[in-house]
Chains A and B, each alone.
Chain A
Amino acid sequence: MSVKEIISKYPPEKSYLLMMLQEIQNNNEKNYIPEDALQNVAAYLNMTMGSIYGVVSYYSMLSLKPRGKYILRVCASPVCELVDDSLLSWLTEQLNVSVGGTTVDGLFTLETTECLGRCASAPAIMINNETYTNINTARLETLISELRMK
């Protein structure tokens, strides 16, 4: 779906802003909100670029920079850390990126997130919009190689 098609699904009301932006981001190959998309949204909602930029930069799920095809978000909150605090460092090593970075092949961006509400089956991670629980390094290895082959 193009940015214009996404925007026109919504009435021109500011309360839809976060939903539009998330849908635009989810439909973007590089998981981000490009400048021209932001301009379209701003014009549609009669907002200045300054104010819309202020909103986007506030929310941790939104990105103005191109990212990988898959966003790996590791839960950094207390329960997941208590149960297994090794996932993040394992991923930085395996993917050879630091937190916030994207692999050279453009496939993975590594991020952290706060509690995903899966604490009973900690540790948890999100890959794009899906949540995975009871994660360990062996399962991560499988998940990553599956995504590489897709």
Chain B
Amino acid sequence: MKETRIALANLGKIRPESIEDYLESGGYKVLEKAVTIDPESLTKEIEDAGLRGRGGAGFPAGTKSRFSRLSCDICPEKYVVCNADEGEPGTFKDRIIMENDPHLLLEGMLIAAYIIGASKGYIYIRGEYTESINRVSAAIEQARERNILGNKIFGSEFSCDIEIRLGAGSYLCGEELTLLESLEGKRGYPRIKPPFPAEKGLFGKPTLVNNVETLAHYPSIIQNGAAWYNHLGTEKSPGTKIFTISGKVNNPGFLEVETGVTLRELIFDFGGGIKDGKKFKAALLGGAAGTFVDESMLDVPLGYDTLKEKNLTLGSGAIMILDEDDSVTKVLHNALRFFKHESCGKCVPCRVGCKQLLILMDRINEEYDPEAVQALEEEAKYMAATSLCPLGQSPILPIASAKRFFNIAAAE
């Protein structure tokens, strides 16, 4: 299958622990040029490129960058925060970027920081990602030694430092406002929105929060221009996306392709088909907070918009494959167990709701019980309407989609 690599352009071509390799491959050249261009033009480039956030929600990156730049544009303190908490089950794209090309992330972050006028950046990496933590730490040290991080970067008036902070085993801390709480050394309880991070973010200051993969697209967009990027992939979700494919395929793994690729291509061309010669049954798109599909969706072009039209999600780009002998109900059960485990318990609908969902799943597992399935969906809808943060609003996604395509009452 033909890959188009942007975030993974250097994968296997440079030694990740060597800044020399990165520089020789043209690394930090875009940053050097960017700091001589006015931030408005750069913002416009990101906007026109149509880049959408790769952390799951697909929010337009240019809009966010503009908000953060214009928010208190005389503020001496602004922050760029890179979300490297990657906890959505089935997802490991950010790990691949950090382990293989940590300087690309730093370069993207520095460009983003220059655009919004931030003098400090933080990368919040989940505590379990030992290799990513080591690679990115080493890259930061190397960049500091060469004053690529520091004062008056490339002789400009732009100064910026980047530091790492660690998570300690909480999925919810990947939610951007909760992440900021955790970064401030607090419990991972979500904040109420608004205000958004662009207004009041880290330490109450204007903050741009972007995912690792989103930031890794910045250098290429600035280098090659918005028009180049915009022509890749689908109309409304342009560019490339890293998909991580797991479960019952012959060759699980990751690949970066233009959006608009289909599940059929990912499973049968890249993934080498279903394991042990079995038949395809289902895919879970976007992790636990994602949606199940059956074979009727194998040819839908994968993009944020194209999937949304079908009431489905692209999310993080995680794709988990089930074969004919696997049970969607069992995977759903585990996804709901996951939410219960990760619920922070701050609000009643989610705290009680998550428990209720598991009780209903037990009923479904015990015997054929269509009423329990109905109750399951209603409970999740109620949670979506009344929960305080997006975690409590997520269980409806796998539940409604599983029910739509499969007979979960029969534990299919």
List the interface of chain A (C-beta within 8 A of B).
13-19, 21-22, 45, 54-55, 58-62, 76-79, 81-83, 113-122, 126, 129-131
Contact = CB atoms under 8 A, between A and B. Distances in A.
Given A14-B184, A19-B166, A58-B170, A113 B128 contact: yes
Contacts of B284: 78
B185 A16 contact: yes
Contacts of B252: 119-122
B331 interface: yes
B169 A14 contact: no
Contact of A119 (B92, B326, B342): B92
A79 B166 contact: no
Q: Pick from A115, A116, A130 the residue with the most CB of B within 10 Å.
A: A115
B88 interface: yes
B253 interface: yes
Given A115-B87, A131-B130, A78 B184 contact: no
B8 to A, nearest CB: 14
A114 B92 CA distance: 13
Interface string B225-258: 0000000000000000000111110001110000
A14 B322 CA distance: 44
B180 to A, nearest CB: 10
Interface in B121-156: 122, 127-130
Contacts, number: 129
Given A54-B187, A79-B247, A114-B341, A60 B334 contact: no
B87 A14 contact: no
A78 B128 contact: no
B338 interface: yes
Interface in B93-137: 95, 122, 127-130
B187 A82 contact: no
Interface of B: 86-92, 95, 122, 127-130, 165-171, 182-188, 244-248, 252-254, 284, 287-288, 318, 320, 322, 326, 330-331, 334-335, 337-338, 341-342, 344
B184 A15 contact: yes
Given A59-B170, A120-B246, A77 B89 contact: yes
Nearest to A129: B130
Contact of A114 (B89, B122, B127): B89
Nearest to B275: A83
A13 B202 CA distance: 14
Contacts of A19: 165-166
B320 A113 contact: no
A120 B254 contact: yes
B338 A78 contact: yes
Given A115-B88, A119-B89, A119-B90, A78 B335 contact: yes
Given A61-B168, A82-B330, 19 more contacts: A14-B184, A14-B186, A15-B165, A19-B166, A60-B169, A60-B170, A76-B334, A79-B320, A81-B330, A81-B334, A113-B128, A115-B87, A119-B318, A119-B320, A120-B252, A120-B254, A122-B246, A129-B130, A131-B128
A115 B168 contact: no
B136 to A, nearest CB: 13
A18 B86 contact: no
Given A83-B247, A114-B171, A120 B253 contact: yes
Contacts of B167: 18, 59
B254 A79 contact: no
Contact of B168 (A62, A121, A122, A126): A62
Contacts of A119: 89-92, 244, 246-247, 252, 318, 320
B185 A17 contact: yes
Contacts of A77: 89-90, 288, 334, 338
Contacts of A129: 130
Contact of A15 (B127, B183, B288): B183
A78 B185 contact: no
Given A117-B129, A120-B253, A131-B130, A79 B89 contact: yes
Contact of B86 (A22, A59, A61, A117): A117
A77 B88 CA distance: 10
Contacts of A76: 334, 337-338
Contact of B338 (A13, A18, A114, A117): A114
A129 B133 CA distance: 11
A18 B165 contact: yes
Given A61-B128, A81-B334, A18 B246 contact: no
A77 B91 CA distance: 11
A107 to B, nearest CB: 21
B326 A115 contact: no
Q: Pick from A45, A60, A113, A117 the residue with the most CB of B within 10 Å.
A: A117
